Amino acid sequence: MDEHATLPALGEDDTTLVLLTVEEAARRLRIGRTTCFALIRTGELESIPVGRLRRVPVDAPAAYVARQRAAHRAA
């Protein structure tokens, strides 16, 4: 039996994650890495520094989409 088949896969489907990499957040939003960094830079997408790294709280992509949807409905 393959020993790797029984190990849980870590990544985007891991429900224990609290923080995402910028690349993971970009994949969830279906945008590019550069665009994701631009959203972070402008404050539209929440992120926090962890040492020299930048991480996105797991709920931040959904919050960003919710704000965008609300703004689109209001327009």
Separation between Cα atoms, residue 19 and residue 50, nearest integer Å: 10
- Is the pLDDT reported for residue 45 higher than 50? yes
3-state secondary structure (DSSP) of residue 8: coil
Average pLDDT over residues 53-68: 98
Question: How sure is the predictor about 39, in pLDDT bands with cuts at 50, 70 and 90?
Answer: very high
Average pLDDT over residues 20-36: 98
Single pTM value for the model: 0.80
